[in-house]
Amino acid sequence: MDSIRVSKVEKVLCGKSGGAHYGSLHLTAHHLIFRYEDSEKEEMWVPYPLISLVLKLPQTLHGQSPLTFHTRMFETFSLSFEKERDAIDVFESVKELTVCTSVNQLYAFFYTPNTPFDTTGGWSLYSPREEFGRMGVGTRTKAWRFTDINKDYAFSPTYPSRLVVPSRISDSTLRYASKYRSKCRIPALTYLHWANFGSITRSSQPMVGIKQNRSLQDEKLVEAVFQSHHFSESRPSGPVYGATSTNLIVDARPTANAVANTAKGAGTENMDNYKDAKKVYSGIDHIHAMRESLAKVVDVLREADNVAASVIGSLPGEAQQLVVVDRQALRRSGWLRHMSNIMEGAALIVRNIHINSSHVLVHCSDGWDRTSQLSALAQLCLDPYYRTIRGFQILVEKDWVSFGHKFLDRCGHLSSDKFFTSLPETGGTGSGADAAQAFLVSVQNRFTSQSHLKETSPCFHQFLECVRQLQRQYPSRFEFNERFLRQLLYHLYSCQFGNFLYNCERERRAGEDGVIPSERAASIWDFFNSTSELEKNKNDAYDPSLDDPSSRYPSADMGVLYPNAKDIRFWHELYGRTEEEMNGRIVVSQTKEGPEFTSPIDSLEDDPVNSISVPAGIPLPPSPARTPNLSNPSVVSPNAGNTSEALTAGLRGLWSSLPDIPQRTTADNTTAPSSTSLRPSGPPLRPSSPGSNLSHPTRSWTANSTDTLYNTGVRSVWGKLSSNATAAFSAMQDAYDGVAKDFKALPRPSGDNEDAQGKISELQPRERLGDGERSAYRVTSQSHSIGSTYNPWDNAKPQKAIHDIPSDNPWSTTRSRSPRQASLSQDLFDGKKSLPLDPTVAHPPRRLESGDSSGVRISGQSQDVGVPYLTVVSDESLVLEQEDQPPSTNIDPLGVGFL
């Protein structure tokens, strides 16, 4: 051919997969072939349509002229030539052979298998009458009928020739309704559910426009679709328990995009005109966003190859993967997010049809990209037949090829000059003007080329990746394996077969310039159904018994799969990388429902293994980032074990920047963890400064205790909280300064009773507390025995069960109460009842005005629970000693009575 300037070049160095080998390069009409000098290595055959980018690099220091090739299967290899002339000839030859002007120039019309396939009939694999008959159209139900209104493709050029529509709708009504849908793509049946006659219909967007146009014929058509299960022949034999009629119109676009199309005369349905239906938006971005997202993924992989090559001074493809792929950049590409949106939309359709026994109408803008993705994925989950090799082939033929996905435009089979770039020489002889000119030319080519390829988008590629996600989530439910999907994507771009070369069924049947693909090209299904390929593509873990709808095992699902839109990962085999390179380490977290995969780990901080590791009964401490509410300083920690320690715990409950672990005090003044589940029921104690030590036995944070926490895995929490500790100490200190003055004013009773002295001695203020605004409290306490202590980390458990443990947000001013606490508070502090008189109190206490501050009642040890608890007292029922009350030796400041 005239396009081939040089057919063979010897002594070419090929760098691929981390190795470089010499061999000979051969250029044919449809393949680039590299034959290694080592006869044991297999030849490399690259179809020209598979090439996505070719870079002609400047000469190396060794005098070699390299070319770098990138393929659509995410492979990279370089060819280094000894002569510059050979590199130029190969570059120009490959460009002319790759960039085509007609479909008839593609390899499919020249390919002849060396050994004829042992199976035939791939072009007639899909028959609409047979496939819809298998679903039950015309047999199980009479609600649907076939129509030949589009037999010559005059009704809708991009729709299949045979359509299935509701029986109640005539062809005349369909003609009127078609004027209201973009490209005349009316709602047509694509799937009828085997269990409950639920249906999936697909269409294009309605032509609503700014004037809010409507079509009665379209509304009647959609209503007939949603009422198709009311036919007597299609009624289920028995009641469908739990089913709810929630017919859905699924608009695959984001809401803003759908509404914005009204300015172009299109838009979305006005649900006031469609009865018994709801509308949801799937939020799947348009084809341009998908193209740019995948391009970012490709750029990240190429950058990794370039960095690895620059480290050892090699060319891309020659160097080993010395650097890890930038997973943060991969996530910023948004590729996983796009797939998650598609999976979530498919899961919604599956639930609505199988569980709600309802109907779904799916559309996007024109109904051939996002609509095909959602429809095909939902059917793959609903019908086990489509998870077999033959069923999947029929699904692709029906929902992608027949319903008019634009394979030619979306895949870019004809290529473009954009993908061939010659980088200028960067040596010292070049001038700055030449470099600037080269830069301007490259920028101009970039912007110009995008307009030529604006229709390209990896829609079918994205669908196969979503199928791979399902296959990974349900490994035993698919007859085909991962290789089958990868081979299908390879031949999508290789143009070796004629199935995926056209934009619609009409073009594929008529061909171009009289060349009919079914007569001149081989079918890809004949290739996949050959004996040799079937053995390679079988899934060894496939278990068809799991899809038995009559199974009554606890794990049976009637053959219906429910996609997990959160368990999305990169298809690392497709990208030629390892699982850890693309997705990071996968950590399995055990839950009650079973194992659930957490998101891939991108950095050391995200690794849950290195994060907090505490027992399940201990909640995470509250975040100190939020400023505590200082308006109500009445929330204190009930850590004390007896009456004399209760008030001290209240005073020292200012250490609120760190979570508290309640402890018990033993006879020898040593601390032990409480028998509770170590829940921080209030703000912990705090010293006057971050570095001060506390002498109280219940809060002796020594180096040993810190090491204990450090060894238990809580060190990460303390490290994160320590940065805000100083600020929290100062803020809380100022808020509670007024407490000291109240306690200074309280009298100290005289007597020899050591117990009473112990109760009152705790009221002595600390010298580091300053004077502040007086805050009036009345704190009551009950004295009970504490009981024995134990170590919660030991195997020994307490005999008494813990029925109720207070656990609230320590920063909140509103505290939750158990029923026992609520009743006790109401009985003792009800405003309508009089308080019991204490004979030791000279004057009865007076009630606060409504404007006074709220208080708190601290009750000591509970006999049945064995732990201290808080009781909040409202403003109306708060009782306290007035500021002007004269001191008296007969007054008990705590209100507990003298012993």
The 3-state DSSP class for residue 776 equals coil
Neighbours of 791 (CB within 10 A): 10
Q: 364 among the known binding-site residues? A: yes
Q: 264 among the known binding-site residues? A: yes
CA nearest to 234, candidates 276, 189, 200, 199: 199
List, in sequence order, every beta strand (DSSP E) within 267-374. Answer: 278-281, 360-363
Q: Rounded CA gap, 251 and 283, in Å? A: 8
Q: Quickly list DSSP for 229-253.
A: GGSGGGS-SS--TT-----EEEE-S
Tokens of 691: 């570095």
Q: Rounded CA gap, 595 and 441, in Å? A: 54
Amino acid at 343: M
Q: Rounded CA gap, 206 and 467, in Å? A: 29
Q: 261 among the known binding-site residues? A: yes
Distance of CA 580 to the CA centre of its chain: 18
Q: 411 among the known binding-site residues? A: no
**Integer CA distances (angstroms), 36 to 24, 45, 54, 675, 731, in order:** 7, 12, 21, 74, 75
Q: 409 among the known binding-site residues? A: no
Q: Rounded CA gap, 286 and 254, in Å? A: 9
- Residue identified by tokens 């040890």 is 861
**Candidate list 14, 100, 184, 364, residue with the active-site label:** 364
DSSP conformational letter for 442: H
Q: Are 52 and 418 in contact (CB under 8 A)?
A: no
CA nearest to 466, candidates 395, 363, 404: 395
- Residue identified by tokens 């070319």 is 67
Please confirm, yes or no, whether 364 is among the known catalytic residues.
yes
Q: Are 128 and 160 in contact (CB under 8 A)?
A: yes
Q: 369 among the known binding-site residues? A: yes
Q: Are 476 and 309 in contact (CB under 8 A)?
A: no
CA nearest to 821, candidates 879, 782, 862: 862
**Integer CA distances (angstroms), 350 to 197, 556, 721, in order:** 13, 16, 45
CA nearest to 343, candidates 461, 449, 462: 462
Known binding-site positions for substrate? 261-264, 364-370
Residues acting as catalytic residues? 364
Residue list for the binding site: 261-264, 364-370
